[in-house]
């Protein structure tokens, strides 16, 4: 594995040795099994740090996360056999997506700016984990797949991030993106969680095209549960505007795992949409897209 040093030179990573740049002599340290490339400091408007503890508690049980994992895995498998393919998950958080892809047989690498999230990810995956921001991705043409799962909606410049991520994809590889869909579904939850926007099919395709990508497939998912999500988030965020110190409470209410019967029902509904219907719904709670630098479209 090779990362790009801040000076622009490539640095070979061979765990457990501390990588050193041959050009500027900078030494990068390992901390708790994580390669520290950048001591990036989160801002007040960034992802709430305490949210990682909450996510680690609900991600393996909440239908929304398990459904998203299943959709991502299904899309990858429809394009190619994931076994032995390399994947970089940008903004990997607690590693819930990486864990799914590693179980599918992929060779994993995760990148995130939050050390707390990476600490949680270290418990889920065996691949390389790197602390660095998503604005400039420190890899060049090394991965069969690069994923950005609910990441670019947090960024002021989504096109710049997509462009940087595309640069980490090998020729013939793929960039997979998931984002929250439908600007009409904007809620206080989006504000609290640090979203800059929700996407339509057109706006996501436009961002990908501006980043130099060919859109190979793009579709909604969780279509049957869109109304449920809207209603739930409206109820969970009802009341006066949230103060900075109660963001955690708003997120906790919104991401509370539904009672077991409802959680199972919503999971089953999503499975029917994914495995039985396979319809190209013109609406949904989320969008998933796959892009590459060139080549023909792939049927969704």
**Rounded to the nearest 5 degrees, what angle is found at the Cα of 151, between the Cα atoms of 145 and 153?**
130
CA 55, CA 49: separation in Å to the nearest integer?
A: 11
Q: Where in the chain is the domain with CATH 3.40.50.150?
A: 32-292
Query: Could you tell me the CATH superfamily of domain 32-292?
Result: Vaccinia Virus protein VP39 (3.40.50.150)
**CA–CA distance from 199 to each of 23, 93, 203, 217 (Å)?**
42, 21, 6, 15
- Beta-carbon contacts of 294 under 8 Å, excluding residues fewer than 6 positions away, are 214
Helix (H, G, I), strand (E, B), or coil: what is residue 54? helix
Record the pTM.
Answer: 0.88
Judged by DSSP in three states, 101 sits in: helix
pLDDT of residue 142: 95
Report the alpha-carbon distance of residue 93 to residue 54 in Å, rounded: 12
Q: What is the pLDDT of residue 296?
A: 47
User: Which pLDDT score is estimated for 298?
Assistant: 45
Q: Which of 79, 137, 67, 73 is nearest to 106 (CA)?
A: 73
Placement of tokens 């719904």 in the chain: 281
Q: For 235, what's the count of Cα atoms within 13 Å in the CB-facing half-sphere?
A: 8
Q: Is 84 left (phi over 0), alpha (psi -120 to 50) or beta?
A: left
* Separation of alpha carbons 118 and 95, rounded Å: 7
CA dihedral 158, 161, 162, 164 (to 10 degrees): 160
- Residue-level pLDDT, tens digit, the chain, 300 residues: 899 988 889 999 988 899 999 999 999 999 999 999 987 665 544 555 667 777 778 888 888 899 899 999 999 999 999 999 999 999 999 999 999 999 999 999 999 988 988 999 999 999 999 999 877 899 999 999 999 999 999 999 999 999 999 999 999 999 999 999 989 888 888 888 889 999 999 999 999 999 999 999 999 988 767 666 666 566 555 554 555 456 667 777 777 888 899 888 888 887 777 765 555 667 788 999 999 976 544 444
The 10 Å CB-count burial string (b at 16+, else e) for 146-159 is bbbbbbbbbbeebb
User: Where is 267: in which H helix or E strand?
Assistant: helix 260-272
User: What is the reported pLDDT for 203?
Assistant: 97
Provide the pLDDT for residue 13.
93
Report how far residue 70's alpha carbon sits from residue 268's, in angstroms, rounded to the nearest whole number. Answer: 12
* The predicted structure's pLDDT at residue 60: 87
246/238 Cα distance (integer angstroms): 13
Say whether the peptide bond before residue 228 is cis (omega within 30 degrees of 0).
Answer: no
DSSP structure class, residue 273: I
């Amino acid at each position: 594995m090779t990362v790009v040093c801040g000076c622009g030179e490539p640095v070979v990573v061979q765990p457990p040795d501390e990588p050193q740049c041959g050009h500027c002599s900078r030494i990068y340290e390992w901390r708790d099994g994580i390669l520290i490339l950048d001591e990036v400091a989160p801002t007040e408007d960034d992802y709430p740090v305490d949210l990682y503890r909450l996510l680690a508690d609900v991600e393996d049980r909440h239908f929304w996360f398990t459904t998203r994992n299943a959709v991502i895995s299904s899309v990858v498998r429809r394009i190619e056999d994931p076994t032995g393919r390399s994947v970089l998950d940008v903004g990997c958080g607690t590693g819930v997506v990486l864990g799914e892809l590693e179980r599918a047989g992929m060779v994993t690498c995760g990148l995130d700016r939050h050390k707390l999230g990476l600490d949680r990810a270290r418990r889920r995956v065996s691949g390389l984990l790197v602390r660095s921001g998503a604005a400039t991705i420190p890899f060049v043409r090394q991965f069969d797949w690069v994923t950005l799962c609910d990441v670019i909606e947090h960024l002021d410049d989504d096109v710049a991030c997509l462009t940087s991520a595309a640069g980490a994809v090998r020729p013939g590889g793929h960039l997979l993106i998931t984002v929250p869909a439908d600007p009409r579904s904007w809620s206080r939850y989006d504000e609290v969680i640090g979203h800059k926007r929700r996407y339509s099919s057109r706006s996501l395709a436009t961002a990908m095209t501006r980043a130099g990508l060919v859109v190979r497939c793009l579709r909604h998912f969780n279509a049957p549960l869109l109304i449920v999500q809207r209603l739930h988030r409206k109820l969970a965020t009802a009341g006066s505007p949230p103060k900075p110190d109660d963001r955690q409470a708003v997120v906790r209410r919104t991401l509370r795992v539904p009672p077991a019967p409802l959680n199972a029902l919503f999971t089953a509904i999503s499975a029917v949409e994914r495995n039985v219907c396979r319809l190209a719904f013109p609406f949904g709670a989320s969008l998933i897209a796959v892009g590459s630098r060139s080549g023909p479209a792939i049927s969704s």
